[in-house]
């Protein structure tokens, strides 16, 4: 009995320490909300009209297709909307991709601002024409309104206004906008190659990825600036099963499609990849902890104790949480026989994989290959790249972006963010160690659902803040 009491006492000590630490630790509220006063609304409407014109030009990109003429037409739209920028900046066009140069007072520590021109196909049933650019319910509706014509509008408008003031930036500014981002095409690599040819090594690259997220996770309420500090690796993989084929009237057991179905089911039911708190994810959770409700703050603020609980429990809350903690695989395509009455000699399923730092591309592929072999499947990697190295959150470039956030969006906390999607910024990693994924747009959960989905739309009241953010960043 004595030893049991000693054990219970020892077990209670860490919990008590965590409780005291939480009670005495910092707490706060995310106070920023986009202003909706008459002057802000008037600016928002002005910017919304420009975004409307950009959305109305259909820039859907097609994998592997040459679409230069399509994008040259879109460039004319940009020139009409931002005439000062196009008169004052040096413009380079490469197969529809755009690079602008704004000469600063110094060539030291140049900055690249990014946003792509192309959009994904507008599949599904929309409530409005996906390229209408309708302005209704204080929203701009249409494909590209969120991803990412809003941020391109914002940094071009910021430069338009600074030029009207006669402003010269303290350092060189480059604008980079590819037309093949949505399928990871050659557009951005061509722009990076051009900068390499010029000997330009950016101090900071700012692309899409994170944003100002409303209620970014369970128990954390308000608007938070989530700065993407790395992105997961990715690969497209095909799993193929071979068989004898034949007539379906006399089916054989263990057919190719049956083995593929068993494999997919097994992977869905028994997660093959291990979860863990990588340093950027841990930093994100710890930075959000002071703003969380007390029970969540107790957990997130004491990961030294509750880390295993978070690692086990977070994936049960949402797919987004799971994606931040482990490599993932999503089955997306299937092929088999060309007719219903023919057994296939070969069938396959394809998947998209995303790799986390603690279990990168090589190890994750080895894990899934071993699982596929149990079902007699061949694994073929069609294309792939590993995760990017994280940005130094204590470095000058990260601080520069954070300072611009605090100046533009008072009361908006800043947090590092683990990006589970892919961006063109990955191509800049070769020449820049500080590629931050952040668009200064307020995204509600509803707006995020529209990205690559139906009824994409953006509330216009976040547009003035986005323009001001880029002005503050350029001035810094």
More confident of the two residues 339 and 47:
47
The 10s digit of each residue's pLDDT in 115-146 is 999 999 999 999 999 999 999 999 999 999 99
**For residue 7, is pLDDT > 90?**
no
H-helix segments, 62-185: 68-81, 83-88, 149-164
**For residue 4, is pLDDT > 90?**
no
Most confident of the following: 8-17, 87-96, 213-222: 87-96
Cβ distance 30 to 413 under 8 Å?
yes
pLDDT band at 47 (very low <50, low <70, confident <90, very high): very high
pLDDT band at 26 (very low <50, low <70, confident <90, very high): confident
Neighbours of 383 (CB within 10 A): 9
More confident of the two residues 112 and 307:
112
Give the pLDDT score at 305: 87
Cα-Cα end-to-end distance for the chain:
66
Give the pLDDT score at 253: 82
Dist. CA 14–CA 55, nearest whole Å: 55
- Whether domain 38-231+388-475 has CATH 3.40.50.1820: the reply is no
Tell me the pLDDT of the chain averaged across its residues. 92
Dist. CA 216–CA 408, nearest whole Å: 20
- Among the residue ranges 143-147, 177-181, 242-246, the one predicted with the least confidence is 242-246
More confident of the two residues 348 and 253:
348
pLDDT band at 363 (very low <50, low <70, confident <90, very high): very high
The token duo for 50 is: 């420009």
pLDDT band at 392 (very low <50, low <70, confident <90, very high): very high
Please tell me the pTM assigned to this model. Answer: 0.91
Q: What is the CATH T-level fold of the domain 233-385, as seen in this structure?
A: Alpha-Beta Plaits (3.30.70)
Dist. CA 356–CA 328, nearest whole Å: 8
More confident of the two residues 424 and 302:
424
**For residue 8, is pLDDT > 60?**
no
* Mean pLDDT within 318-345: 90
Cβ distance 426 to 191 under 8 Å?
no
**For residue 280, is pLDDT > 60?**
yes
Give the pLDDT score at 9: 45
More confident of the two residues 88 and 307:
88
Most confident of the following: 46-50, 316-320, 386-390: 46-50
* Mean pLDDT within 248-254: 76
Domain ranges of the chain: 38-231+388-475, 233-385
pLDDT band at 40 (very low <50, low <70, confident <90, very high): very high
More confident of the two residues 23 and 209:
209
* Mean pLDDT within 219-223: 93
Tokens 């809003």 correspond to 150
**For residue 44, is pLDDT > 90?**
yes
More confident of the two residues 341 and 266:
266
Nearest to 222 by CA among 367, 68, 412: 412
The 10s digit of each residue's pLDDT in 153-172 is 999 999 999 999 999 999 99
More confident of the two residues 320 and 150:
150
Exposed / middle / buried, residue 26 (Cβ in 10 Å: 0-12, 13-18, 19+): exposed
Percent of the chain with pLDDT over 90: 80
Most confident of the following: 24-33, 315-324, 368-377: 368-377
Give the pLDDT score at 285: 93
**For residue 180, is pLDDT > 50?**
yes
Quick one: DSSP state of residue 114? Answer: E
| Dihedral angle computed from the Cα positions of residues 142, 425, 183 and 422, in that order, rounded to the nearest 10 degrees | -80
* Mean pLDDT within 412-420: 94
* Beta carbons within 8 Å of 2's beta carbon, 6+ residues apart: none
Give the pLDDT score at 314: 80
**For residue 185, is pLDDT > 80?**
yes
H-helix segments, 318-462: 319-325, 361-373, 396-408, 445-449
More confident of the two residues 94 and 303:
94
The token duo for 382 is: 């069609």
Dist. CA 251–CA 231, nearest whole Å: 45
How many residues would you count in the chain? 476
Dist. CA 461–CA 359, nearest whole Å: 40
The token duo for 285 is: 């959770």
Q: 28-64 as b/e, with b when 16 or more CB fall inside 10 Å?
A: eebebebeeeeebbebbeebbebbbbbbebbbbbeee
pLDDT band at 249 (very low <50, low <70, confident <90, very high): confident
């Amino acid at each position: 009995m004595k030893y049991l009491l000693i054990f219970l006492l020892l077990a209670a000590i860490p919990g008590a320490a965590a409780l005291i630490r939480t009670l005495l630790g910092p707490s706060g509220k995310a106070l920023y909300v986009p202003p909706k006063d008459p002057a802000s609304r008037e600016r928002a409407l002005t910017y919304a009209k420009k975004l409307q014109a950009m959305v109305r030009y259909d820039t859907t990109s097609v994998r592997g297709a040459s679409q230069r003429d399509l994008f040259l037409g879109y460039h004319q739209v940009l020139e009409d909307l931002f005439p000062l920028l196009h008169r004052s900046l040096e413009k380079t066009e490469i197969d529809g991709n755009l690079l602008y140069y704004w000469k600063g007072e110094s060539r030291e520590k140049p900055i690249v601002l990014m946003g792509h021109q192309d959009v994904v196909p507008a599949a599904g049933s929309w409530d409005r024409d996906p390229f209408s650019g309708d302005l209704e319910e204080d929203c701009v509706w249409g494909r590209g309104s969120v991803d990412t014509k809003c941020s391109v509008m914002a940094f071009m408008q910021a430069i338009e206004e600074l030029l009207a003031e006669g402003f010269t930036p303290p350092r060189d500014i480059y604008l980079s906008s590819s037309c093949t981002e949505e399928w990871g095409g050659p557009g951005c690599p061509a722009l990076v190659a051009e900068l390499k040819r010029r000997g330009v090594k950016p101090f900071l690259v700012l692309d899409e990825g994170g944003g100002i997220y409303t209620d970014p996770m369970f128990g954390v309420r308000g608007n938070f600036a989530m700065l993407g500090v790395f992105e997961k690796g990715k690969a497209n993989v095909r799993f193929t099963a071979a068989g004898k084929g034949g007539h379906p009237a006399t089916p054989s057991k263990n057919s190719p499609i049956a083995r593929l179905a068993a494999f997919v089911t097994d992977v869905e039911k028994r997660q093959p990849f291990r979860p863990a708190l990588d340093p950027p994810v841990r930093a994100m959770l710890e930075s959000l902890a002071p703003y969380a409700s007390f029970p969540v703050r107790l957990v997130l603020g004491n990961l030294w104790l509750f880390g295993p609980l978070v690692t086990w429990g977070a994936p049960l809350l949402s797919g987004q949480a799971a994606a931040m903690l482990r490599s993932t695989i999503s089955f997306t395509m299937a092929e088999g026989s060309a007719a219903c009455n023919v057994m296939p000699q070969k069938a396959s399923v394809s998947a998209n994989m995303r790799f986390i730092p603690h279990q990168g591309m090589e190890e994750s592929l080895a894990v899934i290959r071993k699982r596929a072999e149990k079902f007699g499947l061949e694994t073929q990697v069609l294309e792939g790249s590993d995760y990017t190295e994280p940005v130094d959150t204590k470095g000058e470039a990260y601080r520069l972006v954070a300072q611009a956030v605090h100046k533009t969006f008072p009361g908006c906390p800043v947090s590092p963010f683990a990006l589970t999607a892919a961006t063109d910024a990955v191509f800049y990693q070769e020449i820049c160690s500080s590629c931050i994924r952040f668009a200064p747009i307020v995204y509600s959960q509803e707006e995020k659902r529209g990205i690559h989905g139906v009824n994409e739309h953006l509330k216009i009241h976040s547009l003035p803040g986005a323009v001001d953010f880029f002005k503050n960043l350029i001035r810094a």
